[in-house]
Amino acid sequence: DARVTQTPRHKVTEMGQEVTMRCQPILGHNTVFWYRQTMMQGLELLAYFRNRAPLDDSGMPKDRFSAEMPDATLATLKIQPSEPRDSAVYFCASGLVPIGQDIYEQYFGPGTRLTVT
Amino acid sequence: EDQVTQSPEALRLQEGESSSLNCSYTVSGLRGLFWYRQDPGKGPEFLFTLYSAGEEKEKERLKATLTKKESFLHITAPKPEDSATYLCAVRLRGFQKLVFGTGTRLLVSP
């Protein structure tokens, strides 16, 4: 049963600390997304990668957030320094874009619940 | 501005009481409408993709339909295990990202 995995599942940290969240996409998927979910804003796209290359990170605060894909099996989202307003659930999703098509489903991981105090 | 609106925000049903959830959209160039189910503390779970007006898809007690302006998720004879938040999302032409609605929280009582 192929699934997206995320670590940690929960993170509590103090304001100003660095936070790193990790995601392992479904094996063989070539597109990875980072979303943030809050009660007020719902699900918002932060960034996404195709074949490990960043394609769009316009939803991400550039001064403190960074996203990378060191290899095809690992995506990371880093916040430095963290702030209380970053408290949210962060989801990673992955998908496989078939050759010659551009429509595909995204499969979500269980999320990382971040609390910044 | 591209917008996705879901209604109602919350819906309470008795077991067996069929109903529909609505997702209306005002977007320029739809390239797919997606329905997801989200249980508390979990990530969204993919249900359906609809590509063009008139299309319908079914899965167990769920049936999704699409028109040019909205989509409906029909729930027939729901059971308590259908309780969850149902999210719809649209993908716009030329973009890879999904724009999500805020969801409908469904509670089915036995």
pLDDT exceeds 80 at position B94: no
Which tens digits make up the pLDDT trace of A40-88? 888 999 998 888 888 888 888 889 999 999 999 999 999 999 999 999 9
Count, residues in chain B:
110
**Using a CB-CB distance cutoff of 8 angstroms, which residues of chain B are in contact with residue A42?**
100-103
Distance of CA A46 to the CA centre of its chain: 7
Q: Is B71 helix (H, G, I), strand (E, B) or coil?
A: strand
Closest CA to B107 of B31, B23, B8, B24: B8
**Using a CB-CB distance cutoff of 8 angstroms, which residues of chain A are in contact with residue B102?**
42
Write down the pLDDT at residue B9.
95
Write down the pLDDT at residue A100.
67
How close are the terminal C-alpha atoms of chain B, in Å?
41
Q: Give every CB contact of residue B10 below 8 A, 6+ residues apart in sequence.
A: B104, B105, B106, B107
* Beta bridge mates, B84: B106
Which tens digits make up the pLDDT trace of B20-73? 999 999 877 788 899 999 999 999 999 999 988 999 999 999 999 999 899 999
Minimum Cα–Cα distance from B97: chain A residue:
A45
Residue B45 C-alpha, separation from nearest chain A C-alpha, in angstroms: 7
Which tens digits make up the pLDDT trace of A87-113? 999 999 998 877 666 667 889 999 999
pLDDT exceeds 80 at position A3: yes
Cα separations in angstroms, A79 against A19, A75, A86? 5, 14, 9
For an interface test with A, give the residue of B30, B55, B57, B97 to mutate (most A CBs within 10 A).
B97
Choose among B31, B102, B103: nearest Cβ to A103.
B31
